[in-house]
Structure 1
Amino acid sequence: MEMSLIFFSQLNMCESKENAFFKLTHGSGKEETSTEAKIRVSPEEAVKWAESFDKLLSHRDGVDAFTRFLKTEFSEENIEFWIACEDFKKCKEPQQIILKSKAIYEKFIQNDAPKEVNLDFHTKEVIAKSITQPTLHSFDAAQSRVYQLMEHDSYKRFLKSEIYLHLIEGRPQRPTNLRRRSRSFTYNEFQDVKSDVAIWL
């Protein structure tokens, strides 16, 4: 007896409710990569982003460009957390506040979270205690901390990055290669390497 198998690529029965929720609110990774290449902003507008970090975050294309830059540094969890907090503050229904706060906590705050942000122990403890009865201000301290980290660190590097310089010069965006460099050798490179155990450590 022959059996036919049908695969539903969009359906994942094992996926948690929180993951499904975030896909609904923030889209899937495939959608994100397609929007990355569609950053359309005038050089004059892009120049304004250098005035302040707030100016950058107040512009949708600014957030998109900054997110694209953070992905090249493998630290996009910071801006994703900031965006999630901004979205969370718009909640009006108590049930919505509970569900979203739990999803944010599990995705960004708890130890070994899939996109854990860099927070001190005290801030994490305060959030962990408040999550049982969350309010719209439950993540304020953490969001402020992550904001400061981005403003004083990533934002300064973003202003010197190729992604930003291309925008202010009006050049088209090039696809960003997010692959980590391999540590393997090519044959020619390996010929010049002496047999030494230390190179593998």
Structure 2
Amino acid sequence: MVGGPFYQVRLGRKDGFLSKSTRVKGNVPESNMGTSEIIALFGAKGFNVQETVALSGAHTIGFSHCKEFANRIFNYSKATPVDPTLNPRFADGLKMACANYGSNPTVSAFNDLMTPNKFDNMYYQNLPRGLGLLSTDRDMIVDSRTKYFANLYAKNQTLFFDAFARAMEKLSVLGIKMGRNGEIRRRCDQFNNIVT
């Protein structure tokens, strides 16, 4: 619907019998993680650096709440209030958009300023321009382990789409429940044994 690549999603994936928000931390990347932490997190699940960079391209759509990047635009350091790697006009716009984030936690900004509703490789093109919203985005173009792939995907959308599709297919079969260890839910938001 937003122009991204097509990839196969296997049918019949089983859901687990346990669903707790406390189990999320340590299993998904967080905006305050460094590149080494993100690479290690994905590596522990069997993903290499190239796949990790490709999956990060999902930031080409969607948004992030201001609290996730406020440290880059307010009181960055004693020497400078704003992260100097941010494009100054972009930083000014973010400061205006996020001025009330403390009292309104729903305030957010698009991950990809240029084409926020289109799945494309603009996310990667934005990074060297100082238009990466999260610090993890900025690090993608700086770290020697990820920079090559980020630049490659910035130049070639077809390569990004192919890599993203393969990584998503791999992600879709991660930790599959087998046999009695899971169920195919009749409603995705509740266990089958719950009567409504």
TM-score when scaled to structure 2? 0.29
The structure whose residues are more often helix, as a share, is: 1
Q: Which has the larger radius of gyration?
A: 1
Q: Relative contact order, CA 8 A, sep 6+: which one is greater?
A: 2
TM-score when scaled to structure 1? 0.28
